[in-house]
């Protein structure tokens, strides 16, 4: 199999480190030349809680290029089976989609690993829904350096299409790809229920992320105040009402799962809090912003989600 990973952040490095060990051909596409050179020179290190896995990558099965090198790369090599898109939603612009299209053969699949919602629509419109897969993963990863990443928590990676009629688990290529990840310790499930998975993760993020960023607390901090809990509950009820209007059947115990995530990741700073702390653009547009948008289309109002959306907009940058 030939696999391309676009994005050298924590998740991109974790999956690159694991897939590099699986024996398949791998191209990693980074934003900066410095990172591509460092990966080439040092290999990829994945720090597991009990050991360090160093994958030396000076083999011609591995390539490290930058986004700017992508166009030249497409003319040189044989077809890619999977392109794992591991950049934030805001980075998925028409230019990137155009570059991705040039890498594709009729059999290539593009897998979107983004938080939130909106990317599937954009990718499907330009690439075609039948070539687009989505992934929802709860693997924990923290980038340590340009070439090393800590695997901070084991989770589950769901992979599937938003089209419920697609026979994801009957496709031998997808089975092979899932097996490659599974063998390297990334528990992977081919799911026929991706809409519910994507929406469940969206609701979890829409409840936890903006509040942690506004209140400047870690995920566990939300549980220690009844005021914070009541804000979470309001965001949750509103998000659920949009899903209901769209006939998306969210799990009945999703509220308990949200509390569970806060408890299990108690010391983590949510990705949105990290973005605010680092003065980076947040993913609020694709989380609460999208919920408000979907609600509008359904004739609904989400005052709490709209409020946190505007609060984050006011404090980001």
146 in Cβ contact with 8 (< 8 Å): yes
Task: Single out the residue of 158, 144, 147, 151 nearest to residue 113, CA to CA.
Answer: 158
Residue 316 Cβ, how far from ligand KPL at the closest point, in Å?
15
Ordered alpha helix ranges (H), 154-287: 172-183, 194-215, 226-245, 254-264, 271-277
| Nearest residue (CB) to ligand KPL, 190 versus 202 | 202
Task: Map residue 299 onto helix, strand or coil.
Answer: coil
Residue 68 Cβ, how far from ligand KPL at the closest point, in Å?
28
| Nearest residue (CB) to ligand KPL, 127 versus 211 | 211
| Nearest residue (CB) to ligand KPL, 55 versus 204 | 204
| Nearest residue (CB) to ligand KPL, 181 versus 213 | 213
CA 91 – CA 100 distance, rounded (Å) = 13
Residue 268 Cβ, how far from ligand KPL at the closest point, in Å?
5
248 in Cβ contact with 196 (< 8 Å): yes
Residue 177 Cβ, how far from ligand KPL at the closest point, in Å?
23
Q: Which helix (H) or strand (E) holds 48?
A: strand 44-48
Residue 207 Cβ, how far from ligand KPL at the closest point, in Å?
9
Torsion of CA 101, 103, 107, 111, to 10 degrees: -70
| Nearest residue (CB) to ligand KPL, 46 versus 204 | 204
Q: Which residues of the chain form contacts with ligand KPL (CB under 6 A)?
A: 115, 204-205, 208-209, 219, 261, 265, 268, 270-271
């Amino acid at each position: 199999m030939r696999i391309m990973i676009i994005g050298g952040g924590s998740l991109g490095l974790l999956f690159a480190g694991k897939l590099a060990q699986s024996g398949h051909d791998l191209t990693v596409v980074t934003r900066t030349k410095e990172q591509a050179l460092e990966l080439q020179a040092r290999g990829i290190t994945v720090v597991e809680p009990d050991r360090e896995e160093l994958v030396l990558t000076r083999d011609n099965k591995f390539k490290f290029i930058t986004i700017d090198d992508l166009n030249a790369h497409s003319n040189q090599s044989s077809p890619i089976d999977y392109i794992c898109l591991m950049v934030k939603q805001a980075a998925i612009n028409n230019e990137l989609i155009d570059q991705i299209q040039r890498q594709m053969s009729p059999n290539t699949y593009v897998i979107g690993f983004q938080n939130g919602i909106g990317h599937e629509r954009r990718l499907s419109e330009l690439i075609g829904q039948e070539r687009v897969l989505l992934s929802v993963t709860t693997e924990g990863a923290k980038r340590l350096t340009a070439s090393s990443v800590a695997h901070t928590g084991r989770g589950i990676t769901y992979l599937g299409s938003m089209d419920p009629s697609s026979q994801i688990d009957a496709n031998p290529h997808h089975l092979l790809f899932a097996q490659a990840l599974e063998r390297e310790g990334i528990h992977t499930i081919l799911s026929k229920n991706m809409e519910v998975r994507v929406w469940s993760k969206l609701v979890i993020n829409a409840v936890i992320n903006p509040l942690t960023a506004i209140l400047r607390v870690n995920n566990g901090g939300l549980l220690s105040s009844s005021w914070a809990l009541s804000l979470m509950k309001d965001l949750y009820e509103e998000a659920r009402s949009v899903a209901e209007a769209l006939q998306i059947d969210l799990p009945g115990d999703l509220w308990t799962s949200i509390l569970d995530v806060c408890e299990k990741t108690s010391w983590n700073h949510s990705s949105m809090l990290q973005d605010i702390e680092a003065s980076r653009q947040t993913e609020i547009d694709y989380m609460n912003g999208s919920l408000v948008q979907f609600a509008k289309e359904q004739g609904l109002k989400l005052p709490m989600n709209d409020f946190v959306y505007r609060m984050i907009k006011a404090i980001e940058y």
